[in-house]
Structure 1
């Protein structure tokens, strides 16, 4: 259906099977659109303590409750299908009232993009933000090869989702190459990296208490899942109990591996050295903890999935000017070399212990790592990535609106 131009700022609906504003990538994108004058609605999951409809700034958030049923693959299928149907209905209803110019759908799952079917048929453009590579994700999660029939089906659905959208974006060049290797057109997918929002992660805007004599503080934050290697960090801390008596680790976040991490801490008898928040904390508290830390740790497990992606926390540490200890993956080493991070072999707690000890005993190294990481990260900073993102959004939305600011950004992108 041909789009009808209308005056005023573009109207966008963002759909994400996650929590807003907790999801960092969605949060950055929505704030970017809000700051550019867009009218934004967000459809997302609802936590028990959240309102079904809430206005955050000028953004209207619509939350959907999906009950968990069954376990394993059946549970994923139920939750994916339930949210897709609920969000498709809600997006259609909102579109009839608001007439969106653009619907942005953030995976996973890739098939969630079909929740935009009614707005698309009525003239809205569709942007698919591919947070993950689902075939690699499922191959790793279920321990099967990339040629497994179920993984090949997921790959076919991925490509169908990309073709359905008017354009797509993803997080790294390695992810884009994976999508293109399965048939996606080179011109259809842009890269907008997972940079930290510098308006939030501002080291100069935080106060911190001084460390106790001899203390060396490490921090890790975000989702507590097996793939993020939190157990490797705990084991490394246990290895160093005698060599660095003042070593302390703070873990902030929540996830399915939380109970396993707590049990490991108990079994290794490092309760006095490792703090676990047990849930997500207010941003002010997390930022204060990051300022007080001596170094951050990113310990993702290396596999065919994580060789394509980046962790948000890596960019958070760079922006907060903290030296980072990072596990080696192909995607990390494609953007940053050994001068930027103290690298270690993924899953190797002995090598991680070596890296921690190296930073502890070498303050000059910590200063150099921060300086070099900031230098290498300059083109990936959010002000630059935000401009790329808004250029893509504007090119899609400007055809339906007479907004001159959006037209100017689209022309200059």
Structure 2
């Protein structure tokens, strides 16, 4: 009570008078609103029941809540000049009431939907009349959008609704047909029926996606009002949404069809078909985000839109950072290194990643909250399986980070590729002022072409170049994993060199260092730790080891990792009779693999030169150097770019005999092993994360947030 009196004492009499008057107006409006709810309860109750029974009207129940939310957000601007307007207010009240009465008495349509449309149209007019009566025409003009937004409560008349559904059905069928032709899927079309290998589908009216289409249109209206200023740009956004609606429907039909053909026929009747609309709705929202950003930029260039500014991170005591990566966080050196560096200096870091078997959905690792939102077995044999899992992770991470951002905004999003398009998970936070870094570990077009044995100039790799270009344009800054890749990105996807920085995948010195532990294995151990993909060439190393098994009877080859080649490698070991000499182990966390590597005698990195491995920098080489283990390396372009024969032992890529010769040479020559390890130790002292992390922190603090992008000297 004492605090209330002190506040009142500080308020001027004029301010107190205005507050009392506004409170009286609000009370009057509440009474009028309550009266209309009582008077029109019959149609309103039917509308509520209708919205639960008809799925294409499920949005109606949310419309008054969204309208009220916009009024609340903009209340200072809307209610800055209130007045009583008896004439217009009573006129609208009377007009709405009379039209409602005549509509009930003389309605010629037997349709309950059409009758409800007339009733709700009149009720909304009555509500607007009550608003004008209590707050005035100037206030209505200031709040015109949330007031007109209420008309979305009016059910669409049957004739218009049927035309809309028919148009969406036709458009979805055309997009589906075009997609099948583009992907090279054999198809025979008759109207809305498509004959596919092993399955027949029909694009029915239910496939029109009218519910999600209406929701997407409503989202475009809200986004245009909240994030754009001019009528022209708002209209462009709404018009751009229309083809996205049709595209979204076509993508859903094609995705389900392809999954049923190549993965499991039950996809056509399963939960993804019944309840998966939200995934494709989020997909369409993601496509809408670049359009909205471009329109924002066009307004900014014309000086029409004032963006809210964020406090630079260097002025904050603690920044909030969200990391998104389609990887197992505990096992990924690059992702962990960035996150832990930020956390160690006091930033609050959340990570959204994959979950391995046995891991909890949420855990704290070294002070970092890790949301492990999706299980993954690295066993994708078909590209559609791989794409489906990526899309599912995209939708889930978008929903999670958006929800958390709306509760407590993040300052920065560090999003790791592959895939590049994960950067669009942060579309809403970016619109709200957050900064976004895209970290490209692997070039996706080249990675895809190698993984699925596809020519690099074919359709999908060229499409992925376009995705790469769009993703880089969306991000505020791009980090890339090596210098040759930076040159390639600048030649095809990034115009401004200052927007792209090279940061190698340096090992973390707090994990990879010489512990000085005595060797417990009496065997001579050759080690490969990493992914088991074709371009890594692990099969070449196994065949090379088979050539020297008799010359080095005390040697063993230990492999740690997972990948789509694991089953093949296991069979190869058995075929060559190496079960007691070559050991295929499960992947282990970084902290454990560091001790495993230190216990080895020689490391091997046998990448294929003729594939993606020719360009991909392998951090395993630096990790071996950090723990004092000499390493045999394929003579790829990327490795010869950074290393020479004084610090690694090169062999001719894909040459099993030359690799076998290198293995045997290092097994038999202890002095060569010692010299390589000593030279590598000198090299690693100037090429560790402890030396280079300042560059990343400056990029985050001063360049991206405070001063723009960072310039790099290659």
**Fold similarity call, TM over 0.5:** yes
- Deviations along 1:106-155, whole A, 9 cap, x unmatched? 00100110001011011100000001011111222233333222111100
Q: How does 1:171-190 map to 2 (within 5 A)?
A: 171-184=481-494, 185-190=496-501
Alignment match, 2:563: 255
Q: Is the 8 A contact 1:113 1:165 kept in 2?
A: yes
Q: Could you tell me how far apart the structure 2 residues matched to 1:267 and 1:198 are?
A: 40
Q: 2:632 aligns with which of 308, 325, 330?
A: 325
Deviation string 1:59-84 (CA, Å, 9 cap, x unpaired) is 11112126789951211221121111
Contact 2:557–2:581 at 8 Å: present in 1 too? yes
Matches within 5 A, 1:138-177: 138-177=448-487
Moved more, 124-133 or 305-314: 305-314
How far apart in 2 are the matches of 1:70 and 1:24? 23
Residue 57 of structure 1 and its aligned partner are, at CA, apart by 3.2
Assess if the C-alpha contact under 8 Å between 1:169 and 1:192 holds in 2: yes
Q: Which position in structure 1 is the counterpart of 2:360?
A: 51
- Give runs of aligned pairs for residues 374-385 of structure 1, distance below 5 A: 374-385=681-692
Equivalent position of 1:354 in the other structure = 661
Would the aligned equivalents of 2:402 and 2:429 in 1 still touch at CA under 8 Å? yes
- Write the deviation string for residues 36-71 of structure 1: whole angstroms up to 9, x where unpaired: 211101011122322212222321111212678995
TM-score with structure 1 setting the length = 0.91
2:157 corresponding residue in structure 1: none
CA-CA distance at 1:4 after TM superposition? 2.8
Quote how far apart the aligned CAs of 1:317 are: 0.3
The residue aligned with 2:549 is 241
- TM-aligned CA distance change 1:262 to 1:142, over 3 Å: closer
Is 1:312 matched up with 2:619? yes
Of residues 346-355 and 143-152 in structure 1, the stretch that sits farther from structure 2 once superposed is: 143-152
Judging changes above 3 Å, is the alpha-carbon distance between structure 1 residues 85 and 150 closer, same or farther for their aligned structure 2 residues? Answer: same
For 2:375 and 2:428, locate their aligned partners in 1 and report how far apart those are by CA, in whole Å: 22
Match of 1:132 among 427, 430, 442: 442
Distance 2:493 2:533 in 1: 31
TM-score (norm 2): 0.53
> In structure 1, the residue corresponding to 2:697 is in which secondary structure?
helix
SS for the counterpart of 1:43 is strand
Question: What SS is found at the alignment partner of 2:583?
Answer: strand
1:272 aligns with 2:580: yes
CA distance, structure 2, for counterparts of residue 352 and residue 289 of structure 1: 22
CA–CA separation in structure 1 for the residues paired with 2:309 and 2:396: 25
Map of 1:405 onto structure 2: none
2:607 and 2:668 map into 1 onto residues whose CA distance is 24
Does the 8 Å contact 2:439/2:479 carry over to 1? yes
Match of residue 365, structure 1, among 672, 679, 688: 672
Matches for 1:70-81 after TM superposition, within 5 Å: 72-81=382-391
Determine which structure has the larger helix proportion and give its number: 2
Q: Which runs of 5+ in 1 are unaligned?
A: 401-409
1:404 is matched with none
Contact 2:527 2:558 in 1 (8 A): yes
Partner of 1:3: 309
- Which has the larger share of strand? 1
2:198 matched to which residue of 1? none
Instruction: Tell me which residue corresponds to 1:40.
Output: 349
2:648 equivalent among 336, 341, 344: 341
In structure 1, the residue matched to 2:267 is none
Cα distance in structure 2, aligned partners of 1:366 and 1:247: 15
Aligned residues: 399
| Change over 3 Å in CA distance of 1:383–1:100 after alignment to 2 | same
Decide whether aligned partners of structure 1 residues 37 and 284 sit closer, same or farther in structure 2, where only a CA change above 3 A counts: closer
Alignment correspondent of 2:325: 16
**What does residue 700 of structure 2 align with?**
393
Could you say which residue in structure 1 is the equivalent of 2:334? 25
- Tell me whether 137-146 or 361-370 shows the greater mean CA deviation: 137-146
Q: 1:291 to 1:274 in 2, by over 3 A?
A: same
Summarize the Cα distance change of 1:139–1:276 in structure 2 as closer, same or farther, 3 Å threshold. Answer: closer
Worse-matched range after superposition: 174-183 or 109-118: 174-183
Question: Aligned to 2:594, which of 277, 284, 287?
Answer: 287
Specify which structure has the bigger relative contact order, considering alpha-carbon pairs within 8 angstroms and separated by 6 or more residues: 1
**How do 1:55-70 residues align onto structure 2 when only pairs under 5 Å count?**
55-65=364-374
CA distance in 2, matches of 1:191, 1:252: 28
Structure 2: how far apart are the matches of 1:225 and 1:307? 14
Q: Cα offset for 1:2?
A: 2.6
* Cα-Cα RMSD: 2.3
Distance across 2 between alignment mates of 1:242 and 1:307:
31
Find the aligned partners of 1:169 and 1:100 in 2 and give their Cα distance.
20
- Bigger radius of gyration among the two: 2
Measure the CA separation in 2 of the matches of 1:67 and 1:337: 38
Please say if residues 608 and 614 of structure 2, whose CA atoms lie closer than 8 Å, have aligned partners that are also in contact. Answer: no
